[in-house]
Structures are given as C-alpha cells and as structure tokens.
Chains A and B, each alone.
Chain A
C-alpha cells in the first residue's frame, strides 16, 4: 500500500478513455463499478468537452457479484454496439473489475459482435494514466494495422518526386497539455518547409485514419508519453522513421526542423535561420536583464520538464535549480537532463516530496503542473503551468500552443509574467522603507494570492533557526531586514552557512557583509 494524498496521474483506464475520447468512430466498454463514471467530468468539466466520452460503463453493484457479471459485460457490449454503432470497440476493465477476472476482452472477442474488438489489459495495480493511454493507442494502431504488416525484410521504397513529403503527428490526445493548438502550430510549421501532415492521431482520428498511418514517410512522436510505444512498433513493422525531437522552445523547434530535413530530405535551412519567434529578441531586450539567473524549479511529465529546463537555461538565462518528473517510466531521460544542469533529479509521484524540495531550494519561479501551482501558491512563489495534470484554466479560449515558434512566444509571456516585473522590483528596493510600499505589500502580480498573508513567514521557508547555535546579533538582524524580502531568505541562509563553516558563534553586521562578498554573484 502507498499513502497517497493527491495524485499526479489517474489510473490506467483513464488514459484509455483519453485515447478513445480523442478519436471518432471508436467506443469503449469499461467493466467497472458506478463510481468510475466520474471520469466523464474530467473531459466535460476540465476540458469543457460538449460530448460525453464515448464510454459505456457496466456499473456492476454488489448484488451483481454473486451472479453473472460476465453476462452483464456481454449485454452492455451488445447494447453499446446497437446504440453507438462504433467502427471499433475497445474493451477493458478498471481496478475493481480486474479483480473479478471476467476478462471482458476475451468475452467481447467471443461474443460475435459485428465490430472489430480491441481488448486491453490495463494493470490497474501497477500502472498509471499515461501508460494506459500509451498502451491503448498502441493496441488500437497495432490491432488495426497488424494484418497489413509487410513481410519481414521488406524495405520502404524511397519517396518519388510525384508528391511532397508527409508525416504523421502522433500522440496529441484529450486532456493533454495544449494539444489542440500544438497540432495547428506544428502543421503550419511543417507546411512552411513543404511537408504535409498525413494523419494526426489519436486526436480527431477515425479508425480509417489509423489505417493510413503507414502511407506517411515518418512519424512525429509529438507526445512521447502517449505515442512512443506505437511509434517504435511502426518503425519496426513499417520501417517508418520516428522524429524524436519534441519542438518546445526555439532551440528545440530548430532541432526538430533539422531532424525533419534529415528524414524527409527537404531543405529547412531558411526556416531555421529565420526562426520566426519573438522570444530571442525579447530575451535579449534590456528590460529582460532582470531575468538573469532567476532560480527556477522544473517539474512535470518528462518531455515537458526536459524541454522547459532547456528553455529556462538557454533561452531565458535562468538558473535551473531543480528538475524532476512524476513519470517513473521516463526517469532515465530526466536523470540525463538533470546531469546536464548539475542538479539532483527528483523522480517521485509523491507531491509532499516535491513540496519539500521546493521549500528547500527556494526558487524564484516554479515551472510545474497544477500540483506545483498549489505548492508555489502556498509558498508565495510565482508559478507557470507547463505540463499535465492540468486544470480548467490550462485549456484557454485563445490560441496558445507550447510547441513551435508561436509556442515559444506563448512560453515567454506566460513564464515571465509571474516573475516580478523588472521595474516593479527596482521600485520595491527603492521604496522599501515607504510605509505604503513595504515588505509586506504584495507585488501586484501576486495580489490574486490574497495579499501578504499568503507569504509564509521567513522562518517557514526552510531557513529555520540554525541548529548549531549560530546566533544573530540584533544589529545584524536589523541590517538583514533592510535587504529586500525576495532575497532575504537566501541572504539569511547564506550568512548562516558562511558562519557555520567558519565555526563562528555569532553573526554580526560584519559577518553579513563578509558572507555577501563571499557568495556575491
């Protein structure tokens, strides 16, 4: 058993529902008790979808358990086929039904339904949502395409000149992070270099679209969490190369274009040179000087977190002080990236550990999920959401991709906004003795947090009194208060560390400035 307060991911069947909800012409029968129907609200409330997910739940009750739950599965399947007339039926079970061992997939295959069945085994007690989505997409692709697999040893013929290169965009899904706009942006980007998008899946795809996947020259693995398994099967079976770069950030988008160029043979050099994003100039603009060395903590699914760390360091001039993911399946990539940034990777799905790490590191900006937004709010730190789990505000009405050049513009705005505006920061310093504009006045961009009462007392920010008896002299304590509050915690911590390392008993004004000089940037 694992004590869980909040969870980053839902159970694997929620991932399966995400995939079938993304598609057209696919229905799912989920063998599950009534409570599991809560999954509907994830789609209709968080993503504001206007349709129920295409899922029929068997909703068995205790009184059914002694009887024929297998019969219930078959009745539900027949009724769902008659009512919804899907062209593919996905069949799976949730955690409780898995214990009943009715094996709804086999029941469905034996029920002589007039529709192709894709059975799923969702391992509810060891796996989670993203795995469930990935597995479902893979089984749909494989289930529909396995019969068309060419003989072993078959080689994909070179593309002739009669048509433009074309690729599939794989992985965008319901309840994904900004998938709707990313697909538009990447489709435009590819069109600008003369590459067509052949099939986008699962988002908006029909079963017939999945059958057309092998006709493309390559697969773009846009969201590896969902599409990597399917992409590698397609690569093995249909010899379709996989484009691995996730185009989030200016640098990554340029790398993505280069990879497209290598795989499809189109010339992308002009597009790379132009790199039509405002981010590079905005970042060089003098008003952005105050962004230099801002300490950021990054946490999310692996692909968004790794991409965000790169943007933070290379495109905005931040210091990445922490990097992590809740996705153990992708721990390896995050560990590798953390090594690049010289930080300890944090691989955990326990939000309490994430909270402890953030408190300890005292970053100036948190780039995370909705869970980290809550943590940051509690600690009075600015935050931008970069990854699922997301909430209703992460499905904005306006066009706001994360990918491609426009995505980089969106990222610049949405990450810089929560940081104190440069001018405001200077004013705070200048007027810090002003009675109206003092330490406890909340910067305007944090006003929505409910005023200064949300800002934790200094001591709470993991800078509790030193354990080994280093004491602050009252002059020094007074001097410390003159330091702007947003760096005061760091100054206190550094000074204490400095004093401890030198075996000092007291911290005087002198020690404070010695420490400042020692740690000075």
Chain B
C-alpha cells in the first residue's frame, strides 16, 4: 500500500486549452504580515502561547486585525522592543528571559511558547532560534519552546501559519516504518476537522492526524509511510519540510465547495485504494447536501463578475469554486504569492485566459478594479469601505479565515458569504 504513488485529482472535466495568464506585479502592497495568523493559530492550539518579539506596531496590528479585542486575557502578547534594547543598554536575551518568566508566571498552564520574530527583531538579527533552545533547556519538562518568523518582510498574512507549521515539522518524532497514516495539514475549525474525521473513518482511510493538533504536546510521528494532504493552499514551505522528512504528498484541489471537497477526499481515498463504489456511497449524502446548499446561492451569484485583491492565497481555490460551482465570471484573481506546485491541481480547473496577478501594486490594481467595476470585489478590511463608497460591493477577505468554509457541510455557507453583500444591496433602498 505504501508504494501507492501520490496522484492528482482525476475524472474532472478537461479544462480550457488556454493556460491562465499570470502577471507578476511589484509595488505597494496592502496586506497583513504573518503575525496576523496568530489570531487563528492561538484559537486552534489551546495550550500554546504566542510571544511576538517586536514593536508596539506588532501589538497594535494584532489587536486591530482581530477586529475586536478578544474578551479574555489573550494567549498571545508582544515583547515590545525599546530604545534601551536597541542601544545595547539592555541585553536582549536577558530581557527576553525576563518577559518569558512573566508569561509563565501568569499562565502556568501553558505547554508551549512560540517565540515569533517580527520585522524589527529580524532587522536587528535577534536570534530567536537560539533563544528558544536556551529557554527550552531552562524550562525542560515544563514548557516547550518553538520559534518562527511572522515578520512582514518575510511572510504575508497566511504565510505566518506556513512558517509556524514548518517549524513544528522539524520537531515531529520519526514514525516507525510500515505504520501508514494520513496527515491533514493546515488549521481547520474543530467542527470541520470532526466532519472530515468521520468521513475518513467511513472510507476506511487512516489513521488520520491533523497538523496543527489541538494540543501542542500532541506530536504526530512522521516518516516515509506518512501521506499528507494540504487542507490550506498557503502551506508550501510546510509541505516541502514534510517531503524532506520522507512523507508523501497527495495532490488535490482544496476542500472548498462541493466539488473541491469531493476531489480532496477522493485523492485520499485513491491513495488508500478505496473502491470507487464505496467512495461514492460514503460521500453521496453529504455531497448531495452540499450541492443543494450551493444551488440555493447560485441563483444570486450566476453571471456576476468578481475580482480578488491579494490577501490569503485562498484566492485561486475560491475563484475556482465561484466560477465552476456558482457560475460567477472571474475578472482578476490577485494573490500575494502563487505557488505553482501547491496549486497544481487547482490551476487547470480555472477557465482559460483568466487574469491572475501575483504580488501587488495597489494603486494600479485599484485603477483596474475601478475600470472593471466588478459586481463583487474580495479585498482586505482597509480597502473594503473605500470601494463601497465608490459604489462597489465588497467581501472582506479576512472573514474567510475566521469562518468555517471547508468541507461539504460548509459549502453553502461559503457561497452565502458572497451572496450576502449582493443580497444586502438588493434590500437597501438606496
């Protein structure tokens, strides 16, 4: 079994003969940095604490991007660098040790502390890997330490999670040979994870593990008999780290929409040699539910024109879902970074000749949006209201990160996120 080759999705309609047109743009970017992913990572890994080593800007960014302050003492904080740290009056390592001790004193139940580097800590070349090792030794048996970059000079928004998970992969134990398992990679809401676990169970695919796990001390073993399936498109570095550990990649479209979820599950089922009849039988009911739910939203979306500004790297699979399952017309699909390898199963599903823009030159992109006048523009929070004020309807992209959207039973909810702004426009009398 373990010799089964990983494979791309099969049995899909033949895509258009024209390849998507990918244009690279460089200029002003309007995107979050990787620190923002702490907002969902800390919800997922409930016994971990995320300590950003950065500036007041980092602290302000995380609390502003979260939209509202979370109604509790958060499991993330910033060690704010000050003049005396930069001038060398204070030793940064001593300072960090002191701050970490404060965190542990306040939150003795924390099992893992992630030291997260930021733009300023990277520019001054503060070595957090070293610090994590030193602190890990000091608190051995009590608190684990890990380190990754969430800086805006290295990572864009969701790449913060990629950077975090890539770091975790290095720490995973080695799996014994002949212990076949499936690893689902990428943060999913618990409810979605549970749905997938049930489906994999019914298909006889498993054992299934998730990265990141809900508990930071739950370290899944990885080896040549581990097959992994990405649940999120932005995890290229993590995938490459897993390949280095000998794990095998299962290539598939991402589990967005009825079709995406079906093909994602099918890829895993094929890797486990699940009989096609069995597969169809297991997914029949949830697939039908998903299709019905999407069909209800399709009426509002069919023929509507949509543009994406770069944000989370979810743009390619979302565009695929909205075009193929909801009948929307794609004008421009902007993405901060296009990982051809990770998108290999997605790109052929896009209509030929679609305009894909990688990177950003904000003002020129906004000029194109104004010229295109899409029915809906998917964009970051900072830009949504200005476009609305110009009479364009928008969908805030960050909502796609905080809402369960993957899997069959969320396909209708995903479509509804896009119909809501259009529905609202129809309701309002002005």
Residues on A facing B (Cβ under 8 Å)? 1-7, 9-11, 13-14, 33-42, 44-45, 48-52, 56-62, 65, 76, 79, 83, 94-96, 99-100, 123-126, 128, 352, 370-371, 374, 377-378, 391
Does A126 lie within 8 Å of B55, measured CB to CB? no
Contacts of A49 on B, CB cut-off 8 Å?
A: 385-386
Contacts of A125 on B, CB cut-off 8 Å?
A: 55, 81-83, 85-86
Does B152 lie within 8 Å of A34, measured CB to CB? yes
Does B385 lie within 8 Å of A37, measured CB to CB? no
Does A94 lie within 8 Å of B95, measured CB to CB? no
A99–B56 CA distance with the chains assembled, in angstroms: 14
Interface residues on B, range: 35 or more
Does A96 lie within 8 Å of B92, measured CB to CB? no
Q: Does B382 contact A (CB under 8 A)?
A: yes
Q: Please provide the chain B residues from 11 to 34 with a CB less than 8 Å away from any CB of chain A in the complex.
A: 28-34
Q: Please provide the chain B residues from 97 to 156 with a CB less than 8 Å away from any CB of chain A in the complex.
A: 98-99, 102-103, 119-120, 122-124, 151-154, 156
| 22 pairs, A vs B, C-beta closer than 8 Å | A1-B82, A1-B99, A3-B77, A4-B77, A4-B80, A6-B59, A10-B57, A11-B60, A35-B33, A41-B64, A41-B382, A44-B382, A44-B385, A45-B382, A45-B385, A48-B385, A50-B385, A50-B386, A51-B386, A61-B154, A65-B123, A99-B123
Does A42 lie within 8 Å of B64, measured CB to CB? yes
Q: Does B363 contact A (CB under 8 A)?
A: yes
Contacts of A83 on B, CB cut-off 8 Å?
A: 363
- Which residue of chain A is the closest to B124 with respect to CB atoms? A99
Q: Does B222 contact A (CB under 8 A)?
A: no
Give B102 Cβ to nearest chain A Cβ, in Å: 5
A-B pairs, top 7 by smallest CB distance, nearest first, are: A35-B33, A40-B382, A35-B152, A50-B389, A96-B119, A95-B55, A33-B152
Contacts of A99 on B, CB cut-off 8 Å?
A: 86, 120, 123-124
Does A126 lie within 8 Å of B82, measured CB to CB? yes
Q: Does B383 contact A (CB under 8 A)?
A: yes
Q: Give the contacting residue for B56; candidates A40, A42, A50, A128; CB below 8 A.
A: A128
Does B30 lie within 8 Å of A40, measured CB to CB? yes
Does B82 lie within 8 Å of A100, measured CB to CB? no
A40, A49, A94 interface centre (most CB from chain B within 10 Å) = A40
Does B57 lie within 8 Å of A11, measured CB to CB? yes
Does B151 lie within 8 Å of A33, measured CB to CB? yes
A386–B81 CA distance with the chains assembled, in angstroms: 30
In the complex, per-residue mask of B355-399: 1 if CB is within 8 Å of any chain A CB, else 0: 000000001000000000000000011111110110000000000
Contacts of A36 on B, CB cut-off 8 Å?
A: 57, 61, 152
Contacts of A39 on B, CB cut-off 8 Å?
A: 382
- Which residue of chain B is the closest to A14 with respect to CB atoms? B60
Q: Does B232 contact A (CB under 8 A)?
A: no
Q: Does B35 contact A (CB under 8 A)?
A: yes
Give B86 Cβ to nearest chain A Cβ, in Å: 6
Does A370 lie within 8 Å of B69, measured CB to CB? yes
Taking A44-B383, A83-B363 as contacts, is the C-beta distance between A124 and B57 under 8 angstroms?
A: yes
In the complex, per-residue mask of B65-98: 1 if CB is within 8 Å of any chain A CB, else 0: 1011101111001111111011000101001101
Does B102 lie within 8 Å of A35, measured CB to CB? no
Does A35 lie within 8 Å of B55, measured CB to CB? no
A251–B34 CA distance with the chains assembled, in angstroms: 50
Q: Give the contacting residue for A35; candidates B32, B86, B96, B389; CB below 8 A.
A: B32
Given contacts A34-B33, A40-B380, A45-B381, 19 further A-B contacts (CB under 8 A): A1-B81, A1-B98, A3-B99, A10-B64, A38-B32, A38-B36, A41-B381, A44-B386, A45-B384, A51-B386, A57-B28, A61-B152, A95-B57, A95-B119, A99-B86, A124-B57, A125-B83, A128-B56, A374-B71
Q: Give the contacting residue for A1; candidates B68, B79, B124; CB below 8 A.
A: B79
A13–B389 CA distance with the chains assembled, in angstroms: 26
Does A96 lie within 8 Å of B123, measured CB to CB? yes
Does A35 lie within 8 Å of B119, measured CB to CB? yes
Does A5 lie within 8 Å of B83, measured CB to CB? no
Does B57 lie within 8 Å of A76, measured CB to CB? no
